[in-house]
């Protein structure tokens, strides 16, 4: 099965939930009027697009319908798909990693699949022939270091690690030095997933960033936040909170399979203005893939 088919299958629950809610509105109306738009707004909110994004979509849809003088409900449906797809395709979803080494700094709360995503990313870049180094800078959880170590063995990557509760910035410092010495293509750094104290988190991430900038001043850097799609609008809140403490360049959205809340991809992209860069639609290593907005739109909106 190709990744598009897997994506379509993985988005099954979301697509069903989304299309059911939206199609119910379209089948109930023959006339494109204000009541129709209000019902459609409610359906989009219920489909996990959130109030802000749903309102934006309906306003844009209303404009387009008026401008193009659309009166047929089926044509409105196509216009809706277009508006939703535009939100996703407007963002630059490319990973910019041209320098040697390049750095990926991974942030996010515990339990979202952060360490697993790093392991799968390492596997993705290894399969492209890249030399990958992992840095276990989530030193507050012994399990995180062990888990990353297991992924390093599984993907045949080097790893830089230290004792539990050691300074995360010192791990990143050692990793930057090692990345230069070992001619590494990509250095992926895990970080602690604590959000209960924003000030500490900000201080820690700033310290790590300063180390990277000092040791690898010319390196391309991506700061990715890992979010669990199944938490719905809560994931949007996490993206908002973390973007207040870090200059996030992209999102890794995990657990899209098995949830009906995949519509949050649209609201995160729109409200936080952060592109999705990787998506996970399954348990296996190959199920974390670079995000393709067009394919995602096709897979998500195919039943509308």
Tell me the per-residue pLDDT of 91-144, one tens digit each, with 9 for 90 and over.
999 999 999 999 999 999 888 889 999 999 999 999 999 999 999 999 988 789
Rounded to 10°, the helix 12-28/293-301 angle is: 60
pLDDT band of residue 38 (cuts 50, 70, 90) is very high
What is the average pLDDT across 230-256? Answer: 90
> Considering the entire predicted model, what is its pTM?
0.89
The enclosing H or E element of 278 equals strand 276-280
- Write down the pLDDT at residue 197: 65
C-alpha 286/C-alpha 300 separation (Å) is: 20
Q: What is the model's pLDDT at position 195?
A: 65
pLDDT of residue 295: 87
pLDDT at 226 over 80: yes
Q: Tens digit of pLDDT for each residue in 145-176?
A: 999 999 999 999 999 999 888 899 999 999 99
Q: How would residue 178 be classed by pLDDT, with cut points 50, 70 and 90?
A: very high
Least confident of 74-78, 199-203, 276-280, 285-289: 199-203
Average pLDDT in the chain: 90
Quick one: tokens of 214?
A: 């000092």
Q: For a pLDDT cut of 70, what percent of the chain falls above it?
A: 98
Largest CA distance in the chain: 67
């Amino acid at each position: 099965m190709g990744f598009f088919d897997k994506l379509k299958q993985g988005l099954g629950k979301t697509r069903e939930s989304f299309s059911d809610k939206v199609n119910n509105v379209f089948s109930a109306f023959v006339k494109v009027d204000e009541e129709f738009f209000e019902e459609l707004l409610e359906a989009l909110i219920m489909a996990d697009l959130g109030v802000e994004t749903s309102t934006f979509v309906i306003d844009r849809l209303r404009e387009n319908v008026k401008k193009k003088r659309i009166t047929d409900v089926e044509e409105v449906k196509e216009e809706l798909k277009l508006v939703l797809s535009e939100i996703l395709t407007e963002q630059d979803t490319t990973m910019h990693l041209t320098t040697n080494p390049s750095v990926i700094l991974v942030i996010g709360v515990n339990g979202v699949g952060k360490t697993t995503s790093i392991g799968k990313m390492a596997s993705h870049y290894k399969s492209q022939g890249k030399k990958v180094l992992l840095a276990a800078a989530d030193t507050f959880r012994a399990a995180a270091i062990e888990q990353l170590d297991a992924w390093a063995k599984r993907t045949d990557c080097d790893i830089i690690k230290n004792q539990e509760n050691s300074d995360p910035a010192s791990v990143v410092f050692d990793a930057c030095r090692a990345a230069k010495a070992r001619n590494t293509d990509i250095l992926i750094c895990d970080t602690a997933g604590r959000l209960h104290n924003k000030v500490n988190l900000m201080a820690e991430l700033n310290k790590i960033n300063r180390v990277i900038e000092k040791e690898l001043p010319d390196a391309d850097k991506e700061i990715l936040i890992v979010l669990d799609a199944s938490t719905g609008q809560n994931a949007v809140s996490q993206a908002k909170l973390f973007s207040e403490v870090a200059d996030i360049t992209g999102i890794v959205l995990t657990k899209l399979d098995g949830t009906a809340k995949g519509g949050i991809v649209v609201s995160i992209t729109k409200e936080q203005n952060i592109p999705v860069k990787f998506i996970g639609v399954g348990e296996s290593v190959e199920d974390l893939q670079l995000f393709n907005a067009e394919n995602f739109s096709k897979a998500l909106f195919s039943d509308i």
